[in-house]
Amino acid sequence: MTPDPGVLEEAIRADGGQVDLRLELGLVCSEMGDVVAAEEQNREVLRLMPGQPDALYNLGAIAANRGDTRQARQYWMSAVASGRSSAAAVKALEGIQRLQAAR
């Protein structure tokens, strides 16, 4: 079951903008088709925690979905560099490999 975006927004306001909640809200927004809000949440995560690999991966996925492979590659390379062995970095590396294979 997908969390209610309103509940997540309320929790973020109450907690002062916790990163995990913003990441979750970004995913929910993306699943609901609100890509602009998803980008905003992930950019806010990067403002609060520069180099956060999950936010970098998510922004790369958003860019890839809109066909901007150059920007997707940049975000994913940053995720790999900052996350090293995190799950987001591994997914980013797989995304980069898919982009290269599609050439």
Give residue limits of the domains in the chain.
Answer: 1-50, 51-103
Indicate the pTM of the whole model: 0.82
Q: Say if residue 60's pLDDT is above 70.
A: yes
pLDDT tens per residue, range 2-50: 666 666 566 666 666 589 999 999 999 999 999 999 999 999 999 999 9
Does the pLDDT value for residue 55 go beyond 70? Answer: yes
Q: How far apart are CA 9 and CA 46, in angstroms?
A: 17
Q: Phi and psi for 20 in degrees, rounded to 5?
A: -60, -40
Nearest Cα neighbor of 41 from 73, 78, 12 is 12
Query: Burial of 57 by CB count in 10 Å (0-12 exposed, 13-18 middle, 19+ buried)?
Result: buried
- CA 62 from centroid of its chain's CA atoms: 8
